[in-house]
Homo-oligomer: A and B are copies of this chain.
Amino acid sequence: SNSQDIDHILETQCALAVDLGGTNLRVAIVCMRGSIVKKYIQANPKTFESRIKLILKMCTEAMQDAVRLNCRILGVGISSGGRVNPQEGVILHSTKLIREWSAVDLRTPISDALHLPVWVDNDGNCAALAEKKFGHGKGVESFATVITGTGIGGGIIHNNELIHGNTFCAAELGHIMVSLEGPECSCGSQGCIEAYASGMALQREAKKLNDEEMLKIEGMKVVEPITAVHLISAAKMGNLKAQAVLNKASTALGVGIINILHTMNPSLIILSGVLASYYQAPVQRIILERALSSAQNIQVLKSDLEEPALMGAASMVLDYTTRRIY
């Protein structure tokens, strides 16, 4: 019993974090301090059955590794694209990026199989939780995080808590509209910031320029497939058309973020995702140009977390189990 106590003291308290994205299914063992002990990546299966099977297989493998690594798994935290009811642990509805992923109770099968408590939330919300626990949001009462990746997602912390909304679709920040007409969005509307400023939107514009033979400029190498990266490098090398597209994208994103400021007036905006470092400066400039003077007193920071969705998924476990709330 004495030796058991010592074993117990030597164990690291950890979470099993799961990130369900459009392309990949990732699982990680994350310790209390936020470092990733071990990570597993597989392609996210296209059907419900095989996806659930793979989640359980990857988690079971991770649990076995955890024993060897002297990690004590306190619970499972899951980040998923789409709209999530975190109280019930249910995916209500997902985008086309994750097929067969609506009205899915994730908590019950995973909790039953692994005998662990399970938390589930939207990936943007998880990113906000990650900033709150491990990133720039530490100690900040109210902030919003905007994730500019393939699409645009987000999460909002107010009074130190996530805002989930009446039907769990708060912080659908990609679908803030900044134009009455404007480009068509995957949501069915038009003028959404996702349709102007996401990786998909920039890729669409880059391809359009490339088809018109307006993308490449002298000295520029383009390796297919054409992506947002080519647009950004063409602009940097002086391509005026590429610059105009990126200016419009930055303005749209900046105006969308100002709409968050004029609604919630948080003290901090955190940008994450692959395009964050590109957008940080222009967004800050557009806030100075177009926000109410009293709302301009706001920081726009670039996230320094490498895996916000996984970290946020882990934080649900680490925060709740240590507070002993389930």
**A residues lining the B interface (CB < 8 Å):** 83, 92-93, 142, 156, 158-159, 163-173, 175-180, 187-189, 191, 248, 251-252, 255, 258-267, 289-292, 294-295, 297-298
Contacts and interface: CB of A to CB of B under 8 A. Distances in A.
Nearest to A180: B251
A187 B293 CA distance: 9
Nearest to A298: B166
Contact of A175 (B167, B175, B262, B298): B262
16 contacts: A156-B263, A158-B163, A165-B264, A167-B294, A170-B262, A170-B265, A173-B262, A173-B263, A175-B292, A176-B263, A177-B178, A180-B248, A180-B251, A187-B292, A263-B263, A263-B264
A77 B50 CA distance: 61
A286 to B, nearest CB: 10
A169 B266 CA distance: 9
Q: How many copies of the shown chain assemble into the complex?
A: 2
Contacts of A251: 180
A172 to B, nearest CB: 4
A131 to B, nearest CB: 16
A170 B292 contact: no
Given A180-B248, A180-B255, A252-B180, A292 B173 contact: no
A315 to B, nearest CB: 21
A292 B177 contact: no
Nearest to A159: B159
B263 A260 contact: yes
A290 B189 contact: yes
Contacts of A266: 165-166
Nearest to A83: B294
Contact of A92 (B93, B156, B178, B294): B294
A198 to B, nearest CB: 15
A318 B290 CA distance: 38
Contacts of A295: 165, 167, 169, 172
Contacts of A263: 156, 170-173, 176, 259-260, 263-264
Contact of A178 (B179, B292, B298): B179
Contacts of A180: 178-179, 248, 251-252, 255
Nearest to A175: B262
B169 A292 contact: yes
Highest count of chain B CB atoms <10 Å: which of A172, A173, A252: A172
Contact of A176 (B166, B262, B289, B294): B262
Given A177-B178, A189-B291, 4 more contacts: A166-B267, A168-B265, A176-B262, A177-B258
B264 A163 contact: yes
Contacts of A259: 176-177, 259, 263
B165 A265 contact: yes
Nearest to A262: B172
A298 B171 CA distance: 16
Contacts of A169: 261-262, 265, 292, 294-295
A297 B167 CA distance: 8
Contacts of A176: 259, 262-263
